[in-house]
Structure 1
Amino acid sequence: MKIKINGITSLADSNRFLRALWAELRKQFGKFAWNYQPSKDGTSQTIFLGWGNGIPISLLYSQKSIVNGVLFGNGSSEPVDEASELGLKLKQSVVAALQHRNIPKTEILEVPISSLYSSLAPYKGEWLEILPGQRPISLLTVRVKAFDETDAKTELFRISSFILDVLSIETNNMFWIDSQKQDKVYELKLGTEEAVCPEVNTSPNDEEWIDTYPSHNGYMLISNQAIQFLDRILSKDELSSTESLFIRSCHHYHMARIQDALIYNRLYSPNSQPNDEPLGIILEEDPRFKEAPIFAGRANEIATVLYMSAIEVVSMIDANPSEKCTSCGQEQYRISARVAEYVNKYDEGGHLSKVFKSLYSKRSKYLHAGALLSDHAYVGTTIPKLDPSSDSGMSEMISVPVINLREWTGYMLRQQLKSLLLAGGL
C-alpha cells in the first residue's frame, strides 16, 4: 500500500513528519514493535526502514532528504489491503502525522546529571533549568517539543548530549546522565549570609579563566552565554551550520576530557575546593577509576587526538574559503595552517599556534600512518633516545601534557562561544 505525501519541503520537515508518524503508529497499535534495518535503493528512490509490527515499511523520495510517500508492504510480503482495518489505521496515521508534524506539544522532563566531584550552581533559562542535588549530582530540567512520551524521552536524551558537551567546555569537567533518581534537591537560601548556593545564573567573576574551574561555595559556575546558547539550540528543530560546528567541537572536547580523566582524576580530595592550596590536602583513590591505570597509558594519545580534533572543527567557523590548485583544480584545505591561524587569534604572538600546528601534524601521522604520539617505554627512569620526527629531536613520553591541551582548548572554545553571541553569529 503506497500513500503519497505532499507539502514536505526540507530535511527538518521530513524528520518532524517521521517522529509524528511513529507517535501516531504507537497511538494506533500500542507499543508498535520495531525491527529497524534501514537500506537505500537509489534507483527506485526508496529507503527501506524495516518492520513495524511485522509490516515492511519504506519511505519514498524524489529529492534527497525530502519524503514524498510511505510504502507499507513490499514484493516479498502479502500486500496491505487499503480497505482493511489495518490499511485504514495505517492511512489514518500517515494523514494525522502530516497534519500534526508542525504542532508538537511542549513537555517538561528532568534527568539527574553527574560530574566528577561538584554539583553545578543553579541556572535557569527559557528552555532549561539546573538545580544542585546531592553532590556531585545536579538536576537538569528541559522543555522539549515532542509528539508523545516516547518521542519526548528520545528528544531529552538527544538534547542532553548537546547540553553536557557545552557544560564540559564551560567547566573543564566531564558530565554524564546519572542512573540514581534524585528525590532531594538542596533548598536554595538565596540572598542571605547562610546561602548554600550562589544566586541563580551567577557567572564567573573571571571570564578569562583557563585552569581548574570557576566555583562558589563548592558549586561549579558557568557563563550566562552558555545558558543563552543552550536556550537558542533547544528552541529550534534544526541547528545552523555554525551551531552544528560548535556543538561538534564541544563533543570532541568532552570525549577527550573523559579520556584524560583516566590520567588526572584517579586521585582526589573529597573535602577540598578547586582553589585550595595543595599543601595539607589528603588524596584518596577514586573507586570509579579503579581500573584506570590499565588504560591511562593509551588515554594520553586518544585525548590528544580528540582535543586537536575539537580545534580543527571549531576552526572551520568563519574560515576563509579553500583555494583550488592551479594545476589540477582540486580543493586545497590547508587544515594545519587553518588550525594555527585559529589558535593565534587567542594567543597572538605567543607560542601556542606553533605547539598546535606541530601537534596537528603529529595527530595526522598518528591517524593515517600509525606514528605514536608518545613513548610507551617509560618505567620511571628516562633513557635518552634520538627521534628525528619529534620537535626536540629526542624521544619523549609525551610532547605536551594533556592537561595543558584541556585547558588551552577549553579556553578557546569558551571565547569562541562568547564571540559568536556578541557578533550575533548564532
Structure 2
Amino acid sequence: MGTKITIFNAFLPNYTKVVDFDDFERIDVGVQGLENANHFLWKLWHLFDLQYAPTNNSYAPWAYLPQKLKGKKNNILVLGNINTALGNFQVAISYVKKGDIDSICFYSGIHNDKLTYRKLRELVLQAKGEIDQLVTFHYNIELFCKFEHLEFYTYVGRFFKLYSQDKRIYVSFDITCADKYEAYHLGMERMKYMTAFLAVETNILFDYYPIEETSEENDIKNEAPLFMKNYIDGYSISVDRVLISEEAFKFLDKIIFVERDLHLSHLEKYFLLGCIHVQNGMKEQETFDDIVKMSFPKQTFGVMNGRLKDKQEKYTHCVMHYLSAIETASYEEGNHEVCKTCGNIKFKIASRVKDFVSKYFNEELGKVFKGLYAVRSKYLHTGILSTSGDFLNARPLLDGGTELGLVDNSFVSLKANGGISLVAVLNIKEWTTFALRCFYHEKMFGNMNYEVEAAYDNNSEAYIRHFSDAIIKSDIEGMELIAIEPT
C-alpha cells in the first residue's frame, strides 16, 4: 500500500476522498533546483492555459489546497485541483531533495483513459522542452507620495527607467518570463523592494496603484548623471527634484531590476527586509507627523492633525520598526554566539544595534539607540508604550513610568550617556536611514565615505499637501483662528 492522500473538492466543502498515491499517474520530470523547478511550473501552467483552458475561460483555474506528505522513498507535495478542458485533476509533486521536481502526478476519479493521460504527458514534456522560450513584458507605473509637483531626476538602467513627466513620477521596466502571471508576480516583487529601498534612500514614502502591463512608452529625455551626496536631515531633494546616490542607481540596476529572477545574497536580502521595516515605520509616522508651527512677536499658532486617539500606539510602532530595520539589516554582521548550556544562539541584538549606529555616527548616539532598543523590547514583551498618550494638549505632569519623570509628549525619554535623552521619532527615522545608507554603500559597493559634506537646498516642505481634520490652536486664551490668508 502506498501513501494515503486525502482529496478535497473546492466546490463540495463536505466532500473528501482518500486515495492511494500509487493510483496517481506519474510523469517523470527530473528538474533540479528551486529556480529551475519554478520555471518549469510557470511554463506548465501557461501551457495548460493556452491548450486546455475550460470552455469560455482564458485560463485553467486552480483550487489551491496544498498538503505535504512523506512517502516511502520520497516526499510529496499535493498542490490541489486544476480544472481543465481535459477534466479535473488532483496534482502532486514527488521529490527527494527540497526544491527539485522528480515527477509530477495527476489523479482523476473520472478521466482515467489512456488518451487523456497521454495528452498530459505530452504537455509536461513540452513544458520541459520549452522552459527557455520566454516573452518580454513592459510595465510603466506611476509613483505618488505626499509631495505635490515633485519631480524625479532621470535615471536609465539596463532594464528600468526612473523619471518624471508632466509633474508626475514614473518607473518603467521590462521582465522576460513565461507568461503574464509570472510577469505580474515578478513585477510586484520589484515594486515592493524598490519602494522600500527608496524610503531609505530618499526619506520619502512612495506608493503605487496595482501594476498593469502596458505597451506604451513615454518619450524620456536622457540626462547627464547627477547623484545625491551624503545627507541626514530632510529628503534627498535638490532644486525641486529627487536625487539618488550613485550606489543607489547601481543597486536598482544590478539587484532589483534584473531580467527575470532576483538573486539576492543574504546581505542584500536582510538589507531589503530592513528597508521594509523603515517603510512600515514611515507609513505609521505619516499618519501623525504633520505639525506646522507659526510664531509671531506676541503669539504662536500650531496646526496639527486632530485624529490623535491612536498616536501613542503609532509612535511606538515607529520606534519598533526603525530599530527592527537596523536589527534586520545587520543580521549578517552579528557575532552569533552559542549558549554552552542550552545550545541556543545568543544574538546580543542591543549591542549589535549600538555598534551599528556608533560606526556611522558616534558612540554617544550608539548608546541612545541601545536605550531605544530597550524601549522597543519593553513594548514587545510587556505592552508598555514608548510615549505618553495626550499629544494635543501639552501640560507638564509627573509620570513615574518614564525615565524623565514627566510625561513624554511627542518624544521618548531614555537613559543614555549619564543623563536623560529626549528623542523624537523624526530624528530616529533620519538617523536610521542615514546609517542604513552608509551600511549598504560600504558592504555592497566599498564606499566608506560617511561624511556629510554640505546640505542641498532642501525646500521640500513647500510640497507637503495640507492634511485633513486639522485643528488650529492659538496660545492666546479665547482667540479663534479661522483661516490663514496666503501672503
Q: TM-score, normalised by structure 2?
A: 0.72
Specify every segment of 5 or more residues in structure 2 that has no aligned partner in the other structure, as ranges: 1-24, 413-422, 448-487
Distance in 2 of aligned mates of 1:316 and 1:180: 32
**Distance across 2 between alignment mates of 1:259 and 1:356:** 20
Alignment partners' CA distance in 2, 1:385 and 1:357? 25
* 2:45 paired with 1:25: no
* Structure 2 SS opposite 1:58: strand
Displacement, 1:108? Answer: 2.7
Query: Is the 8 Å Cα contact of residues 112 and 180 (structure 1) preserved in structure 2?
Result: no
Shift of 1:285: 9.3
> In the aligned structure 2, how far is the partner of 1:27 from the partner of 1:202?
46
Q: Secondary structure at the residue paired with 2:355? A: helix
Matched, 1:258 2:283: yes
Trace 1:175-324 onto structure 2 (pairs within 5 A).
175-178=206-209, 188=221, 199-204=223-228, 207-233=229-255, 234-235=257-258, 236-265=261-290, 293=308, 295-320=310-335, 322-324=336-338
Matched residue of 1:63: which SS? coil
From 124, 144, 150, the counterpart of 2:175? 144
Partner in structure 2 of residue 357 of structure 1? 370
**CA shift at 1:343, angstroms?**
1.1
Deviation at 1:16, TM superposition (A): 2.3
CA distance, structure 2, for counterparts of residue 60 and residue 292 of structure 1: 55
1:331 equivalent in structure 2? 345
Question: Aligned with 2:152: secondary structure?
Answer: coil
Amino acid at match of 2:342: C
Q: Go from structure 1 to structure 2 and tell me whether the alpha carbon gap of 1:266 and 1:295 turns closer, same or farther (over 3 Å shift).
A: farther
Match for residue 271 of structure 1? none
Q: Residues of 2 paired with 1:266 and 1:133: CA distance?
A: 30
The residue type equivalent to 2:427 in the other structure is: N
**Aligned match of 1:65:** 99
Residues in 1 aligned to 2:237 and 2:295: alpha-carbon distance in whole angstroms: 17
Q: Tell me how far apart the structure 1 counterparts of residues 387 and 302 of structure 2 sit (CA, whole Å).
A: 28
Alignment coverage as a number of residue pairs: 391
Indicate yes or no: 2:18 matched with 1:5: no
Contact 1:17 1:101 in 2 (8 A): yes
Work out which of the residue numbers 143, 153, 159 in structure 2 matches 1:121: 153
1:419 pairs with 2:449: no
Deviation (angstroms), 1:379: 4.8
Provide the secondary structure at the position in 1 that maps to 2:263.
Answer: coil
Aligned-residue RMSD, C-alpha: 3.3
TM-score (norm 1): 0.82
Matched letter for residue 122 of structure 1: T
CA distance 1:410–1:84, change in 2 (3 Å): same
**Larger helix proportion of the pair:** 1
Aligned residue identity for 2:374: S
- Check conservation: 1:119, 1:219, Cα contact below 8 A: yes
Classify the secondary structure of the residue corresponding to 1:5: strand
Residues 284 and 144 (structure 1 numbering): CA distance in 2 closer, same or farther, change over 3 Å?
farther
Kept after mapping to 2: 8 A contact 1:23/1:151: no
State whether residues 171 and 214 of structure 1, in contact with CA within 8 Å, keep that contact through their aligned partners in structure 2. Answer: yes
* 1:81–1:318 distance in 2 versus 1, CA, 3 Å: same
SS at match of 2:288: helix
Cα contact 1:12–1:237 (8 A) shared by 2: no
**1:39-118 residue pairs with structure 2 within 5 A?**
39-42=67-70, 45-53=75-83, 54-73=88-107, 77-78=108-109, 80-81=111-112, 83-85=114-116, 87-102=117-132, 104-117=134-147, 118=150
Q: Does residue 1:345 correspond to 2:365, yes or no?
A: no
**Equivalent position amino acid for 1:55 in 2:** F
Q: More strand per residue: 1 or 2? A: 2
